[in-house]
Amino acid sequence: PISGVSLWAQPPGGQVALGDRLVLSCAVAEGTGPLSFSWHRGGSAAPLGTGPRLELHVGDEDSGHYQCRATNGDSTAESPPLHITVLGERDPGAGGGL
């Protein structure tokens, strides 16, 4: 079985400026066999990516809860959700207006 799935973000704290890079990393404390990882946002079934690392250039719709799911074929475990906040979205000074 897999246990202790953890998720962390760079920049730490999960606050990212609009257009900046967000790197999410996933690790498991215990797990045997070949592990595969998938990334999900807001409970969506469609994965954002696979692998132990996810890199995003954040847009103004990327705020929300992110989770990493680890599986070894026999069992699956998920990380606690990590809340990502995009700073500067809908800022009238940032986009040159409509």
Q: Does 29 fall in a domain? A: yes
Domain count, the chain: 1
Residue 74 is part of a domain; what is its CATH number?
2.60.40.10
Domain contains 81: yes
The answer to whether position 47 is within a domain reads: yes
Cα gap 71→93, rounded to integer Å: 44
Identify whether 95 is part of a domain. Answer: no
**Average pLDDT estimate for 58-76:** 95
Domain span holding position 44: 3-87
Q: Map tokens 């990493």 to a residue.
A: 68
pLDDT per position as a tens digit, 55-66: 999 998 999 999
State the pLDDT confidence band at 97, using cuts at 50, 70 and 90.
very low
Q: How many CB atoms neighbour CB 58 within 10 A?
A: 20
In a domain, 55, yes or no: yes
- In a domain? residue 96: no
Question: Mean pLDDT score of the chain, rounded to an integer?
Answer: 90
With a cut of 70, say whether residue 71 has pLDDT above it: yes
Q: In Å, what is the CA distance from 56 to each residue of 17, 19, 23, 36, 66?
A: 12, 9, 6, 19, 12
Q: Is residue 71 part of a domain?
A: yes
pLDDT by residue (tens digit) across 11-45?
999 999 999 999 999 999 999 889 999 999 997 88
Q: What is the pLDDT of residue 98?
A: 46
Residue 14 counted as domain residue: yes
